[in-house]
Structures are given as structure tokens and as C-alpha cells.
Amino acid sequence: MSSRSFNIEEAKKRVIAAGIRLVETGLIARTWGNVSHRISEAQFVITPSGRDYRALTPDDIVTVQIADGTYSGSIKPSSERGVHAAVYRQFPDVNFVIHTHQTEASVISASEFDSIDIVEGPLAGTVLCGAYALPSTKKLARNVAASLQNTNNRAIIMKNHGAVCYGADDEEAFSVALALESACQRFVADVYRQLSGDSHAEAAAISQLVLEGEYRRDALARAEGPFYNSRRTEGGFVLVTSSSREEQFVVKFGERSMNTPEDAQLHEAIYKKHKHVKYVTWNRSPEVTAFSRTSLKLKPLLDDFAQLIGTSARVAEADPRSVAAALGRSSAVFVRGHGALCCGGTEDDASAISMVLDKNCKAYVGASLLGNVRPLHYWESLLMRFVYLNQYAKQASKPSR
């Protein structure tokens, strides 16, 4: 083991700063992911479970034993601390670990590939994909540990989950995470170029190649908007253009004028049928819009989809009753030919759901391009959704002390 030790207070501050940086760089949504810093041969400090990184203080960062993942105190550390401990045990020179749900690595994680080869950069060589296991389980930590024993690289892709990246310090760990994202994106793009002969490899073109055979003709020509996000108010809601917060329409339930956007009918139907929904936002990324042109049901390829959205997201016809009904127990619904509406109890919820839906659509397109699509098992997805709603979401909503 390394004999180097670190000041615990400085280590905690670096962990908090790294957590905020993860959010700002888009490598995670909300509190998905975790950060740790080795402080001695025997211990590391790590982010707590289910807490907003932007509200953390040094007192919230938990000290964990490398040998067995145990800790003391009333604050529960990240449930993935076993993954971090495995990295520190395997690599004595590693002092910083970040676990991300970054998009491009997640796409590879949902494919049939067990590894990818990278030609240059800090990850030159082979990056392995650790076998899948339910999040926060000892089996997941064991699967990551098994992959670590077979690599000298600085990252592991975690099947249907994300990635774990590590280095001598926070800068190296972030450099690895960003390099992994670029490499995974290039990997998918290169496969597309080989299949299509198209040198550009734009997201819309890749989606079209994969999904064109599933398109419905009546979904190919759709109005371009404007599209509105909304927030619930007393007796109604406020529509805000998705591209700007300047144009707003205050709408009362059942009281629409000639100037009220047609979009309002969809939002009103959702709010009336689903009382827990407080915010609704559009997602019209190339992959989401492409999927909305099909009659497919999107199932979880990534476990954060199962947690935040549910066991599936359906495509509904672009009418209020169909959209509200298709939403069901899901947090998102595709609207035929338009994209998807993402619904949450807070604006942050709706934004995170939109991000996760987009990532799962990208994973579907990427997995289709690279081989076969294999969704997560229904019962495992149902279990993850239940645990999220009854434990994780409640923990995440608690204010930091």
C-alpha cells in the first residue's frame, strides 16, 4: 500500500468540489454518481448517499475503511462505497475515484461489447466492461473488483450503469472520465461510418439509420413548435417557451383563449390526471425525436432509467387524452413525432428525467448499431423503481444540515 497520507479536511473539500464539477460537466444527473479521496493506507472519504452535491459541507463527507467498507457515524456514505474500496485495494497509487453515469460510456455499457480498444490518450489500451449487477449491491462491487484484477487501465465501464474512473488525484480522475467519454463517442461514430459510408456521424443520421424501419409515416411531418415547458400553479399552470423564459402564458384549468398555445392541452391533461406532477418539460433531442416517430416501447437499458422513469416509456398519439393515459406510472411519455414530455414533482426532477430519457434513447440507438438491444429484466427494473421512490428519492429531498 501507498504510505502517503492526506489532510482529511482538505480531502473532504476536494470531494465536494469534484461532486459539483461532475454536475456542471454533465457527467452525472442530480446525485447519480459519487466521489471519493484516499486519506491513508486504510481509509478514504466519500460523498453521502442521495444528497445534493451543491449543498454538501465537509461534515457531510463520510470516512470509510478500505478493507471492508465499514464506517461510523449517523450519515450514510454512498451505497457504491464498495466499488471505491475495490479500486483503492487494487491500485495503491490511486488516491481519487469518481463514479459517473456519463452518457457515451453508458451507451457502450448497454451494448453487447465486453470491452473497447482505445488507440491514444490516457486510456490507450483496452477498457473493460464489468458484468452487470443491481446498483448498490455487493455483487456489483465484486464484479468491478474482478474487472480491476484484469486491467491496468484507469477506467472500468459498468454494464447498464456507467463508469468508474480513477487517478492519482482529482485532475487525473476527471481527465480519464472526459477521455473515456470522447473515446466511447468515437467508437460508436466509427461503427456508423463503416456501416453507412457517411463521414459526418451526426446524432440525427445515426438515429435514422437505426430506427428508420420502425418509423410511422404519419409521424414524419410534424410542426416545429413552439414547444412549451410548464409549472403547475393554483388552479392551472404557466407555460414557458422551451427555448426561452421570456414568453409565458398563464393558463387556468378549463379557461383557454384564442391566444393560448395548442401545447396547453397536453399539459392540462397531464396535470389533471397526475396530481403529483408539478413540472413538465419537453425533450426534443435527435434520438428522443427519432424514437417518438416509432411505435416502440422504450424499456430500461440503464438502471437510472428504471429508477427515475419506470419500467417503460410509451409513444402516444399527439392528443391530450392519449398522452395523459400513456404516462401511466412512468415519468415520461413520447408524443408521436414531436419528442417527449418529462414530468416531475420539481423542476430539478423534470430536468433529471429528461436527461436520463435522452441517455437511454442514445443507449438504444447505440446498442442497436453495435448489435442487439437487451433491456434490463422487468422485475429488476420494477424493484429499482420501488426502491428509488421509497428510499432514495426521500433521502435526496432531505435538506443538508
- Look at residue 241 in the predicted model and tell me its pLDDT: 86
Do the first three CATH levels of 8-195 and 213-396 match, i.e. the same topology?
A: yes
Helices of type H across 44-127: 81-90, 103-109
Minimal CA–CA distance to 83: which of 25, 14, 159, 24? 159
Buried-exposed string 333-356: b where 16+ CB fall within 10 A, e elsewhere: bbbbbbbbbbbbeeeebbbbbbbb
Q: Which residue has the cell 486491467?
A: 151
Look at domain 8-195 and name its CATH class: alpha beta
Extents of the domains making up the chain: 8-195, 213-396
Burial class (CB in 10 A: 0-12, 13-18, 19+), 123: buried
Helices 347-370 and 170-196 cross at an angle (nearest 10°) of 50
pTM equals 0.93
All three cell numbers of 193, joined, read 461510418
> Residue 24 and residue 335: Cα distance in Å, rounded?
29
- Look at residue 401 in the predicted model and tell me its pLDDT: 42
Each residue's pLDDT expressed in tens, for the chain with a length of 401 residues: 444 689 999 999 999 999 999 888 878 766 678 999 999 999 999 999 878 888 899 999 999 999 999 998 899 999 999 999 999 999 999 999 999 999 999 999 999 999 999 998 899 999 999 999 999 999 999 999 999 999 999 999 999 999 999 999 999 999 999 999 999 999 999 999 999 999 999 999 999 999 999 998 877 766 567 899 999 999 999 999 876 666 789 999 988 888 888 889 999 999 999 999 999 999 999 999 999 999 999 999 999 999 999 999 999 999 999 999 999 999 999 999 999 999 999 999 999 999 999 999 999 999 999 999 999 999 999 999 999 998 765 555 454 44
All three cell numbers of 299, joined, read 424499456
- Looking at the DSSP bridge assignments, the partners of residue 126 are 117
Q: What are the CA-CA distances from residue 283 to residues 2, 92, 197, 220, 267 (Å)?
A: 47, 43, 29, 17, 14
Q: How far is CA 328 from the centre of its chain?
A: 21
| Domain formed by 213-396, architecture | 3-Layer(aba) Sandwich (3.40)
First to last CA, the chain: 35
